[in-house]
């Protein structure tokens, strides 16, 4: 089994870091636009005269567009290069927010959030492919984690500051300025970003449709890609659901806190993820064999948090909510492990495609959970304890599938080792490992 091909950059330079930072700012903008409805949800319900299910449809549509576009985005990035795709991402993000700013009907607002979802979908995979081109493998997890951490700067701006702006200048000026500023940043990306250390533009691939389909199938059948998908499915959705839509309504309508207090509490997600991203990313970059044990631990802690929030009698105190939200925020850095799995177990030529497949996971879980909560809230007369049982169901399902593919991926690695082939990560065997499990479906982890 051949070892994983190296990136185009055996070492990173200052220019590579500056290029990455420029691209990461695009992700900051994308996260701001993605999460802006989290604190504007109640304003949106009043502005458009809609209920819980219609409000949930905003997030469901946006995240569904995001999830549906992840594999096409990976293919586009592999074909045209990340720089071009990042420029288009900014165009769609800006257009979506401008449309939302001037929307006075629910239908037009839905279109606007769908356009935002399209721009958002083009961003993260592009930044990670750029990182794969500019940084060696040993730095990739750290750069990925730093990207995720920077994204939460956008999330932070979309909590209390956005709440104050909506209460001051109002809906139209706030979202209009955000959209126009995003358009302006296309100039910076055009001038500063280079696809590789040696070229501003990637060579456009001339692969046929059948070759693209084959690349997708090869990425999908790789157990490391599947493990990355279910890792990403299971870990970030609790954080996403509360930050994107249901956190503020849960705290205001379900727990009785003021909107200002609620948005301040949601900042615990941002701070927790901002701090933990580089810490966890740096650690697993040095000790990749600890990736999955960390994920399993985080999922167990998430289960404990949801059990506590759902059974707590009366109003959950702030002293409980803050550490609970910090624990849930750890799902974000843990979800980035899925991208490291995609990179380790796929050749660099299809890293974009594999990364797109992985990135579908968490947003499918987020979309399904967000819509189900809205439907259960209406069916139960606004009972958040019943509605949030959705989170437990999705968590259990995702954790089960992740454990299945963890075992299968380990089996393929051990089979390769037994054949004397190099593997991306050396793993320690346990009694529950079996080299026979699914080996016939994927003969090597690359």
Least confident of 17-21, 148-152, 181-185, 219-223: 148-152
pLDDT in tens, 60-81: 788 788 888 888 888 888 888 8
Whole-angstrom distance, CA of residue 124 vs CA of residue 211: 24
Q: Residues 129-135: what's their mean pLDDT?
A: 84
Give the model's pLDDT for residue 2: 36
Binned at pLDDT 50, 70 and 90, residue 446 comes out as: very low
Give the closest residue to 178 by CA, choosing from 189, 165, 191, 168: 165
Binned at pLDDT 50, 70 and 90, residue 372 comes out as: very high
Whole-angstrom distance, CA of residue 410 vs CA of residue 293: 13
The number of beta carbons lying within 10 Å of the beta carbon of residue 424 is 21
- The pTM of the full predicted model, rounded to 2 decimals, is 0.73
- The CATH label, of 1.20.1250.20, 1.10.230.10, 3.90.1300.10, 3.40.718.10, for the domain at 14-198+209-441 is 1.20.1250.20
Whole-angstrom distance, CA of residue 263 vs CA of residue 158: 9
Whole-angstrom distance, CA of residue 374 vs CA of residue 60: 10
- Predicted confidence (pLDDT) at residue 152 exceeds the cutoff of 80: no
Residue 287 has φ and ψ, to the nearest 5°, of: -125, 70
User: Quick one: tokens of 236?
Assistant: 């970030």
- Predicted confidence (pLDDT) at residue 369 exceeds the cutoff of 80: yes
Give the model's pLDDT for residue 430: 66
pLDDT in tens, 254-271: 898 888 888 888 888 878
Which residue matches tokens 């500019």? 134
Q: Residues 264-287: what's their mean pLDDT?
A: 82
Question: Residue 426 CA to chain centroid, in angstroms?
Answer: 27
Give the closest residue to 29 by CA, choosing from 185, 162, 166, 167: 185
* Residue 58 CB burial class (10 angstroms; 0-12, 13-18, ≥19): buried
- Rounded to 10 degrees, what is the CA torsion of 205, 210, 212, 213? 180
Buried b (16+ CB within 10 A) or exposed e, 280-289: bbebbbeebe
Whole-angstrom distance, CA of residue 368 vs CA of residue 2: 39
The average confidence (pLDDT) of the chain is 83
pLDDT in tens, 141-151: 788 888 877 87
Binned at pLDDT 50, 70 and 90, residue 354 comes out as: confident
Q: Residues 164-168: what's their mean pLDDT?
A: 79
User: Quick one: tokens of 15?
Assistant: 């220019």
436: Cβ–Cβ under 8 A, 6 or more apart, which residues?
A: 411
Give the closest residue to 265 by CA, choosing from 337, 181, 190, 323: 323
Give the model's pLDDT for residue 358: 92
Give the closest residue to 408 by CA, choosing from 441, 382, 361, 375: 441
Contact in structure between 76 and 130 (CB atoms under 8 Å): no
User: Quick one: tokens of 148?
Assistant: 């995720």
183: Cβ–Cβ under 8 A, 6 or more apart, which residues?
A: 90, 91, 94
147: Cβ–Cβ under 8 A, 6 or more apart, which residues?
A: 20, 24, 27, 124, 127, 128, 131
- Predicted confidence (pLDDT) at residue 1 exceeds the cutoff of 60: no
Binned at pLDDT 50, 70 and 90, residue 161 comes out as: confident
- Predicted confidence (pLDDT) at residue 443 exceeds the cutoff of 90: no
Give the closest residue to 147 by CA, choosing from 127, 173, 167, 130: 127
Residue 322 has, within 13 A of its CA and on its CB side, a CA count of 6
């Amino acid at each position: 089994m051949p070892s994983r091909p190296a990136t185009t950059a055996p070492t990173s330079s200052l220019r590579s870091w500056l290029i990455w930072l420029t691209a990461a700012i695009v992700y900051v903008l994308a996260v701001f636009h993605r999460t802006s409805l989290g604190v504007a949800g109640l304003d949106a319900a009043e502005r458009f005269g809609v209920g819980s299910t219609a409000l949930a449809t905003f997030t469901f549509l946006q995240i569904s567009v995001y999830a549906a576009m992840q594999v096409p985005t990976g293919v586009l990035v592999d074909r045209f290069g990340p720089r071009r795709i990042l420029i288009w991402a900014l165009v769609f993000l800006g257009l979506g927010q401008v449309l939302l700013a001037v929307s006075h009907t629910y239908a037009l607002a839905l279109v606007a959030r769908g356009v935002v979802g399209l721009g958002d979908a083009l961003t993260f995979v592009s930044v990670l492919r750029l990182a794969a081109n500019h940084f060696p493998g040993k730095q990739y997890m750290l750069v990925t984690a730093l990207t995720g951490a920077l994204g939460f700067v956008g999330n932070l701006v979309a909590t209390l500051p956005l709440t104050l702006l909506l209460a001051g200048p109002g809906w139209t000026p706030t979202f209009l300025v955000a959209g126009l500023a995003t358009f302006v940043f296309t100039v910076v990306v055009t001038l500063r970003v280079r696809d590789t250390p040696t070229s501003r533009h990637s060579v456009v691939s001339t692969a046929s449709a059948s070759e693209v389909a084959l690349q997708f199938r090869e990425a999908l059948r790789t157990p490391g890609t599947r493990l990355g998908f279910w890792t990403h499915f299971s870990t970030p959705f609790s954080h996403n659901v509360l930050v994107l839509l249901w956190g503020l309504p849960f705290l205001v309508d379900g727990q009785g806190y003021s909107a200002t207090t609620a948005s301040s509490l949601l900042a615990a997600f941002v701070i927790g993820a901002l701090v933990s991203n580089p810490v966890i990313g740096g650690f697993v970059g040095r000790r990749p064999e600890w990736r999955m044990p960390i994920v399993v631990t985080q999922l167990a802690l998430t289960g404990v948090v949801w059990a506590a929030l759902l059974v707590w009698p009366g109003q959950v105190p702030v002293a409980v909510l803050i550490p609970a939200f910090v624990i849930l925020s750890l799902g974000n850095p843990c979800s980035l492990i899925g991208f490291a799995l995609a990179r380790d177990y796929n050749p660099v030529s299809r890293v974009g495609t594999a990364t797109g497949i992985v990135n579908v996971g968490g947003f499918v879980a987020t979309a399904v959970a967000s819509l189900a909560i809205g439907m259960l809230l209406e069916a139960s007369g606004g009972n958040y304890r019943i509605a949030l049982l959705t989170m437990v169901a999705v968590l259990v399902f995702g954790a089960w599938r992740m454990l299945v593919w963890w075992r299968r991926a380990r089996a393929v690695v051990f089979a390769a080792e037994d054949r004397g082939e190099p593997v991306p990560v050396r793993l320690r065997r346990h009694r529950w490992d079996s080299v026979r499990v699914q080996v016939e479906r994927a003969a090597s982890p690359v």
